[in-house]
């Protein structure tokens, strides 16, 4: 396991203003005159702590994230069919091994690269890094995702604990730029999570974005290697005090050299049943 001697960095993260209205993001051109309430307009400079010294003590149930050696060999990330056929089973075993879940279902993945902002270059599985403080699911959209993916089993499954985990790792090389920052779930309050509406023509989804609070403690793993993977908890049905949601974001590391190789990573989204 690579241990970094780097100190904390100060960087700008894109929080969202709490103005009493849910922020929104449209995946289509809204009607003229629509009053928009975009997220990410509250840029704040924060300290982001090098987490390598704590890597063995972190818990997805407490801080909301962990880092482990992934180990498995796979390089065909440009082959979507191969990712689903060969990489998904490795992710399932990784999540089971590190959470104790009885069953794990992978439901999608995204390859992140530094791409132009033009939406036309994006695909459903290849997108730029997200420079927005967010958590992927809400108290409503978590259970709804189970119903969407496993409609015939959802009622029974939702009677027991379900948790969603993202497995995030570099594709083939060390991360030199746009690392991922995680907010220690113990340091945000329920009120810091703001529901954001995701507007599609046929439906409206929702995630959480976050308002700023001075209590937030941010952490990251500089120079992550390709054999390492972050386990990020994005939803938990339990309300017994363990982490249920965890804010995270990519960020521009001010210490990154100008000629650093561009970050390429994959995140695989899973639901785990206990």
CATH number of the domain at 196, please.
Answer: 2.60.120
- The answer on pLDDT for 248 being more than 70 is yes
Q: Is residue 50 a part of any domain in this protein?
A: no
pLDDT for position 102: 97
Quick one: what percent of the chain has pLDDT higher than 90?
82
Regarding predicted confidence, which is higher, 126 or 131?
A: 131
Interval 180-232: pLDDT, tens:
999 999 999 999 999 999 999 888 899 999 999 999 999 999 999 999 999 99
CA–CA distance, 191 with 183 (Å, rounded to integer): 15
The structure tokens listed for 146 are: 């189970």
Q: Is residue 74 a part of any domain in this protein?
A: yes
pLDDT for position 123: 41
pLDDT for position 245: 97
Closest to 249 measured CA to CA, from 235, 225, 267, 236: 267
Q: Per-residue confidence at 68, pLDDT binned at 50, 70, 90?
A: very high
pLDDT for position 128: 73
Q: Is residue 2 a part of any domain in this protein?
A: no
Closest to 252 measured CA to CA, from 13, 5, 1: 13
Region of residue 19 (phi > 0: left; psi between -120 and 50: alpha; otherwise: beta): alpha
CA–CA distance, 42 with 13 (Å, rounded to integer): 8
Which spans in 160-209 are helix H? none
CA–CA distance, 226 with 169 (Å, rounded to integer): 6
Q: Is residue 263 a part of any domain in this protein?
A: yes
Residue 100: CB atoms within 10 Å: 9
Q: Is residue 36 a part of any domain in this protein?
A: no
pLDDT for position 127: 64
CA–CA distance, 140 with 206 (Å, rounded to integer): 8
Domain that holds residue 112: 67-273
Q: Is residue 60 a part of any domain in this protein?
A: no
CA–CA distance, 225 with 1 (Å, rounded to integer): 9
Interval 12-45: pLDDT, tens:
999 999 999 999 999 888 888 899 999 999 999 9
Residue 230 neighbours by CB under 8 Å, 6+ apart: 65, 66, 67, 166, 167, 168, 169, 180, 182, 221, 224
Distance, CA of 86 to chain centre: 22
Q: Is residue 17 a part of any domain in this protein?
A: no
Which spans in the chain are helix H? 80-82, 88-99, 141-149, 154-157
pLDDT for position 229: 97
**pTM given for the model:** 0.91
Q: How many domains does the chain have?
A: 1
Q: Is residue 59 a part of any domain in this protein?
A: no
Strands (DSSP E) contained in 32-113 are 42-50, 65-69, 103-113
């Amino acid at each position: 396991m690579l241990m970094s001697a780097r100190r904390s960095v100060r960087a700008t993260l894109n929080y969202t203003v709490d103005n009493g209205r849910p922020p929104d993001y449209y995946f289509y051109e809204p009607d003229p005159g629509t009053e928009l309430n975009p997220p990410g307009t509250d840029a704040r400079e924060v300290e982001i702590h090098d987490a390598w010294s704590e890597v063995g003590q972190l818990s997805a149930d407490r801080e909301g994230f962990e880092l482990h050696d992934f180990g498995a060999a796979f390089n065909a990330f440009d082959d979507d069919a191969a990712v689903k056929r060969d990489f998904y089973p490795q992710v399932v075993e990784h999540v089971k091994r590190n959470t104790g879940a009885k069953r794990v279902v992978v439901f999608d993945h995204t390859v992140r690269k530094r791409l132009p902002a033009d939406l036309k270059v994006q695909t459903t599985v290849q997108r730029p890094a997200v420079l927005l403080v967010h958590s992927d699911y809400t108290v409503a959209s978590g259970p709804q995702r189970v119903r969407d993916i496993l409609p015939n089993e959802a009622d029974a499954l939702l009677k027991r604990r379900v948790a969603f985990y993202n497995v995030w790792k570099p594709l083939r090389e060390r991360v030199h730029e746009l690392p991922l920052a995680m907010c220690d779930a113990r340091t945000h309050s329920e009120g810091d999570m703001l529901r954001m509406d995701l507007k599609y023509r046929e439906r409206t989804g929702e995630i959480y974005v976050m308002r700023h609070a001075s209590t937030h403690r941010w952490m990251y793993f500089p120079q992550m290697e390709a054999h390492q993977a972050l386990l990020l908890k994005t939803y938990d049905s339990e309300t017994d005090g363990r982490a249920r949601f965890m804010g995270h974001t990519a960020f521009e590391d001010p210490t990154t050299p100008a000629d650093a190789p561009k970050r390429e990573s994959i995140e695989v989204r899973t639901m785990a049943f206990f």
